[in-house]
């Protein structure tokens, strides 16, 4: 988040902007804002706004730039950026001019016609894709088809695609030029387009670290909102809400009220929502006075008196339109979302919850009651809602929202709370609430508990969607409860549910995970009874299961010879044993036999034969393989000719070549040792441009996994030069294979590139263990500090990390005890963390291995002090009895520890207390 200084800069820029504008007579918001500003320090500027030439623009200051922005925002909404000659602002402006057939270059500019033509040519040559030739045949065919239509057709199913198009245009051209481009192409810019551009600007503002960029993006959002109003669109919360939240997160109070006032004009139907955002603002900036003022106003005007309203500068006529109850509702909602218990309790005593305008708001409020553990309030409001026309199903959902929001409740306790509240309040649980409860169980990976709830629903005669079973099947896979598939299939059959292909695919997948291939095939046979046809996805699940199996492959002739020889010996021994042969002799024969097998040339291979058998079964069932099928086939090839064979079959089949196919090719060639061919895969013309960096990341991982470290690092550099990011999994793979001495700087660099939070923790631990292995003390401590900061609220996780570090020291063949002691001291002094007993045990074991008596004594002292500090006096006493008494230094430490951690007590109370401590120990 930019510093508070940025907010002040924006304020000053706004002032500077307004000073240079001539307000419209009918713009009440602008006149009000101008009147409220101090103009004593204004600099002389031109009173008449005009669009300056590129040459003069290139010399404009930041303040002057914002001045131009304000002029164009309130007046003609001309292009935004007054940047350098070749900046993005000019790119946007000139492309717009080209499309409109007229130049926006000032006639009086000193630029020559040749220079203008050259610049226009450079604009037209701006690439929208890095390499258009990389588009595959299928995508190109679609592009030609769209060109032939010569018009744009947008349907509800194309929303995601259109959002991507808008974002791409906004990134390449800028928002102003994008709007004009849509108009030039015959597409009127609508609310959907504006919202997409607003979202793009807000995302940039949140991501950037540069203040000038941040200010520009905020300015562009405001300009877009004003342009929407100018074109007759009503400003809904979907458009202005994210913008106000951005200002709130930036803690920009003055700017919030200015922009809020401008957006609010003529939008009286949304006034209550502005009250919600205002309360969030005061909570964000911790302005307790303002929060109390608004709460007191609601508390003293519960009958709807609006004359003393002090919120968000709403005029009294507008306040009447907004309605006191709606304002109270949204103030309460903001307080609930922020878990302000004191204010929530105050307003709940006043506000009539049955008059709330939104069920979603009620749901959020019940969630807050759960987080604040206000069960009595929740019960009171449920009873009140039962007497209204809210509906039993909605009330059941409110109970679910409360029960699942109560902190520190296990899944079983949540279910108990859910049932108990329904029972006490005499509310019948609805199917929707039950399904949400099942989803809560699945999110906690409690699949068996979810199935218990399903049983209860069926017993109560409630209906259940098949999609609910899909979430349960996913939870079964994630929690490794594969055997629950039997129970799920039985429920589906006995209750006459209609599963679809996805249901069967998921169940077949679980069967395969259990190695129950016969059961998986039986489910495919059962499809006919359900009037369903097998799909490639079902067979793919079986094929993947076979490819996950590994077989021990022996040299056949040698194995047969040894088995025959040992078989004869064992038979002979058994026969002789009947006459009293020693059992040990037979045992020795068995051991010799196993040892002979271990000395054979044993190799592990994937079960290719069974996997290919699945392919033949697909052909027999007239099921065509899809891209996933070929991904499995190519990715598991062990011979180069097989890779070529299946790739040719793929191209002849007409199946679209996806990025996963290219990844499988890379991994297969690398596994065969054909590294040059693996590198050539990324040069294929069919590689999707948008997936190129992802595919190159797979190449880097494959090369590193097979010992080609330098070449893998070269690929990483190529990705960086293309201004793309290396995939997190590829970074972790590189870290795993950069475990030789002298790689610390490279590992730290890779760690800085990790953006995924969970994988960053994994990578950080790898680098720490590397530092321990190669004795980089300062780097290890710095990284440990970062981990401690990340796990500041999780003592168990922190303890596990330190245990792992000290176990690494203990596992070392030549443990450097001085390094271990230095690390221990640094952790205590710099991180203010005392390692656990387990960590000290590891260090003590390392001392024993190194036969380092002096270090052993130091660790014993640490353990004694740790036991006393934790209150384990009995264990400390046992350790004290084993310590050497002839060492004066040890005696000094013992005396100091007793003085610090064992406080004196008098009389029998001390004795009783010590007995309790002993009993607890």
Q: For residues 100-126, give the mean pLDDT.
A: 38
Question: 869: pLDDT confidence band, cut at 50, 70 and 90?
Answer: low
Assessment of whether the complete model's pTM goes beyond 0.75: no
Q: How far apart are CA 6 and CA 208, in angstroms?
A: 13
Of 124-138, 207-221, 251-265, which gets the smallest average pLDDT? 124-138
Q: Which of 36, 65, 77 is nearest to 261 (CA)?
A: 36
Q: Which of 581, 622, 607 is nearest to 515 (CA)?
A: 607
Residue 860 has pLDDT above 90, yes or no: no
- pLDDT number for residue 167: 63
Tell me the three state secondary structure of residue 553. Answer: strand
* Tens digits of residue pLDDT in 650-664: 999 989 999 999 999
Of 475-479, 528-532, 571-575, 687-691, which gets the smallest average pLDDT? 571-575
CA angle 746, 749, 751 (to 5 degrees): 110
- pLDDT number for residue 104: 36
Of 386-390, 477-481, 600-604, 898-902, where does the model show the most confidence? 477-481
For 604, phi then psi, to 5°, come to -105, 130
* Cβ proximity of 67 and 16 under 8 Å: yes
Residue 53 has pLDDT above 90, yes or no: no
Eight-class DSSP state of 353: G
- pLDDT number for residue 314: 45
* 57 compared with 299, residue with greater pLDDT: 299
Q: How far apart are CA 295 and CA 300, in angstroms?
A: 9
- pLDDT number for residue 608: 80
Residue 433 has pLDDT above 90, yes or no: yes
- pLDDT number for residue 820: 85
Q: For residues 416-440, give the mean pLDDT.
A: 94
* 863 compared with 326, residue with greater pLDDT: 326
Question: 593: pLDDT confidence band, cut at 50, 70 and 90?
Answer: low
- pLDDT number for residue 166: 61
Which residues, other chains included, contact 246 with Cβ-Cβ below 8 Å and sequence gap of 6+? 202, 205, 206, 218, 221
Residue 378 has pLDDT above 70, yes or no: yes
Q: For residues 847-862, give the mean pLDDT.
A: 71
Helix or strand run (H / E) with residue 550: strand 550-553
* 862 compared with 513, residue with greater pLDDT: 513
Of 5-19, 76-90, 216-230, 677-691, which gets the smallest average pLDDT? 76-90
- pLDDT number for residue 780: 92
- pLDDT number for residue 872: 63
Q: How far apart are CA 538 and CA 507, in angstroms?
A: 9
Residue 710 has pLDDT above 90, yes or no: yes
Of 89-93, 604-608, 878-882, which gets the smallest average pLDDT? 89-93
Question: 435: pLDDT confidence band, cut at 50, 70 and 90?
Answer: very high
Eight-class DSSP state of 605: E
Q: For residues 153-169, give the mean pLDDT.
A: 53
- Percent of the chain at pLDDT above 70? 63
Eight-class DSSP state of 530: G
Residue 777 has pLDDT above 60, yes or no: yes
Structure-token match 């010799």, residue found: 592
Residue 919 has pLDDT above 80, yes or no: no
Long-range contacts of 315-319 (CB under 8 A, 24+ apart): 318/264, 318/268, 318/271, 319/271
Q: How far apart are CA 69 and CA 222, in angstroms?
A: 10
Q: For residues 343-368, give the mean pLDDT.
A: 87
Residue 541 has pLDDT above 90, yes or no: yes
* 47 compared with 835, residue with greater pLDDT: 835
- pLDDT number for residue 844: 75
Cα dihedral sign, 404-407-412-414: negative
- pLDDT number for residue 189: 66
Q: Which of 162, 154, 160, 58 is nearest to 109 (CA)?
A: 58
Of 226-240, 404-418, 765-779, 907-921, which gets the smallest average pLDDT? 907-921
Average pLDDT, the chain: 74
């Amino acid at each position: 988040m930019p510093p508070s200084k940025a907010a002040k800069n924006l304020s000053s820029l706004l002032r500077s902007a307004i000073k240079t504008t001539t307000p419209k007579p009918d713009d009440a918001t602008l006149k009000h804002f101008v009147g409220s500003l101090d103009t004593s320090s204004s600099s002389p500027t031109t009173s008449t706004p005009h669009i300056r030439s590129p040459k003069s623009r290139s010399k404009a200051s930041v303040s002057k730039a914002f001045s131009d922005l304000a002029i164009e925002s309130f007046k003609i909404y001309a292009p935004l950026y007054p940047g350098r000659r070749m900046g993005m602002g000019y790119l946007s402006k000139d492309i717009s001019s080209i499309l409109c057939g007229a130049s926006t270059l000032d006639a009086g500019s000193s630029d020559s016609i040749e220079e203008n033509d050259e610049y226009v040519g450079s604009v037209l040559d701006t690439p929208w894709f890095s390499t258009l030739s990389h588009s595959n045949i299928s995508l190109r065919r679609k592009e030609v088809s769209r060109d032939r239509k010569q018009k744009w057709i947008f349907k509800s199913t194309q929303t995601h695609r259109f959002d991507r198009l808008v974002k791409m245009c906004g990134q390449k051209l800028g928002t102003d030029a994008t709007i004009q481009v849509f108009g030039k192409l015959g597409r009127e810019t609508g609310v959907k387009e504006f919202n997409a551009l607003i979202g793009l600007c807000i995302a940039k503002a949140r991501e950037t670290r540069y203040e000038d960029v941040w200010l520009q993006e905020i300015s562009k959002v405001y300009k877009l909102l004003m342009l929407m109003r100018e074109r007759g669109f009503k400003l809904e919360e979907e458009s202005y809400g994210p913008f106000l939240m951005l200002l709130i997160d930036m803690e920009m109070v003055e700017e919030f009220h200015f922009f809020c006032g401008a957006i609010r004009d003529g939008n009286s139907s949304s006034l209550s929502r502005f009250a919600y955002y205002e309360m969030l603002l005061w909570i964000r900036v911790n302005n307790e006075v303002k929060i109390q003022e608004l709460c007191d106003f609601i508390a003293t005007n519960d009958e709807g008196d609006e004359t003393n309203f002090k919120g968000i500068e709403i005029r009294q006529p507008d306040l009447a339109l907004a309605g006191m109850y709606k304002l109270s509702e949204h103030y309460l909602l903001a307080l609930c979302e922020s878990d302000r218990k004191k204010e929530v309790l105050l307003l709940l005593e006043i506000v009539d919850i049955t008059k709330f305008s939104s069920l979603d708001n009620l749901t959020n409020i019940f969630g807050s009651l759960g987080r604040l553990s206000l069960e009595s309030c929740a019960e009171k409001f449920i009873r009140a809602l039962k007497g209204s026309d809210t509906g039993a199903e909605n009330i059941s959902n409110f109970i679910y929202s409360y029960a699942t929001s109560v902190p520190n409740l296990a899944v079983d306790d949540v279910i108990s709370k859910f049932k108990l509240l329904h029972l006490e309040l005499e509310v019948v649980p609805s199917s929707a609430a039950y399904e949400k409860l099942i989803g809560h169980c699945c999110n906690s990976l409690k699949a068996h508990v979810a199935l218990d709830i399903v049983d209860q629903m069926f017993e109560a005669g409630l209906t259940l969607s098949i999609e609910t079973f899909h979430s349960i099947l996913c939870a079964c896979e994630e929690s490794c409860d594969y055997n629950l598939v039997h129970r799920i299939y039985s429920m589906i059959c006995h209750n006459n549910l209609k599963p679809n292909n996805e249901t069967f695919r998921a169940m077949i997948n679980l069967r395969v995970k259990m190695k129950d291939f016969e059961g998986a095939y039986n489910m495919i046979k059962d499809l006919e009874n359900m009037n369903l046809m097998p799909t490639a996805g079902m067979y793919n699940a079986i094929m993947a299961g076979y490819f996950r199996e590994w077989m021990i492959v022996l040299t056949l002739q040698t194995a047969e010879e040894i088995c025959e020889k040992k078989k004869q010996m064992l038979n002979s021994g058994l026969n002789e044993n009947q006459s009293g042969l020693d059992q040990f002799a037979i045992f020795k024969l068995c051991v010799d036999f196993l040892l002979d097998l271990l000395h054979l040339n044993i190799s592990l291979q994937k079960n290719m034969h069974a996997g290919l058998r699945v392919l033949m079964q697909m052909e027999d069932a007239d099921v065509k393989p899809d891209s996933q099928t070929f991904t499995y086939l190519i990715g598991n090839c062990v011979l180069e000719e097989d890779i070529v064979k299946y790739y040719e079959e793929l191209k002849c089949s007409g199946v679209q070549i996806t990025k996963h196919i290219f990844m499988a090719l890379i991994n297969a060639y690398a596994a065969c040792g054909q590294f040059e061919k693996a590198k050539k895969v990324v040069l294929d013309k069919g590689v999707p441009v948008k997936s190129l960096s992802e595919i190159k990341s797979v190449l880097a991982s494959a090369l590193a996994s097979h010992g080609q470290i330098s070449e893998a690092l070269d690929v990483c550099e190529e990705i960086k030069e293309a201004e793309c990011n290396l995939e997190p999994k590829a970074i972790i793979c590189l870290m795993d294979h950069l475990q030789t001495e002298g790689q610390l700087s490279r590992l730290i660099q890779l760690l800085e590139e990790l953006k995924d939070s969970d994988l960053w923790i994994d990578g950080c631990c790898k680098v720490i263990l590397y530092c321990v292995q190669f004795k980089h003390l300062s780097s290890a401590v710095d990284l440990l500090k970062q981990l401690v900061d990340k796990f500041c609220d999780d003592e168990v996780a922190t303890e596990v990390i330190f245990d792992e570090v000290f176990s690494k020291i203990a596992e070392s063949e030549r443990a450097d005890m001085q390094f271990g002691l230095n690390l221990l001291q640094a952790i205590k002094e710099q991180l203010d963390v005392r390692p656990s007993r387990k960590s000290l045990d590891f260090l003590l074991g390392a001392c024993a291995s190194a036969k380092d008596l002096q270090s052993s004594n130091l660790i014993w002292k640490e353990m004694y002090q740790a036991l006393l500090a934790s209150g384990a006096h009995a264990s400390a006493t046992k350790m004290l009895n084993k310590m050497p008494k002839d060492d004066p230094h040890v005696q000094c430490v013992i005396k100091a520890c007793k003085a610090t951690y064992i406080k004196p007590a008098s009389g029998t109370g001390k004795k009783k207390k010590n007995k309790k401590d002993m009993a607890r120990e």
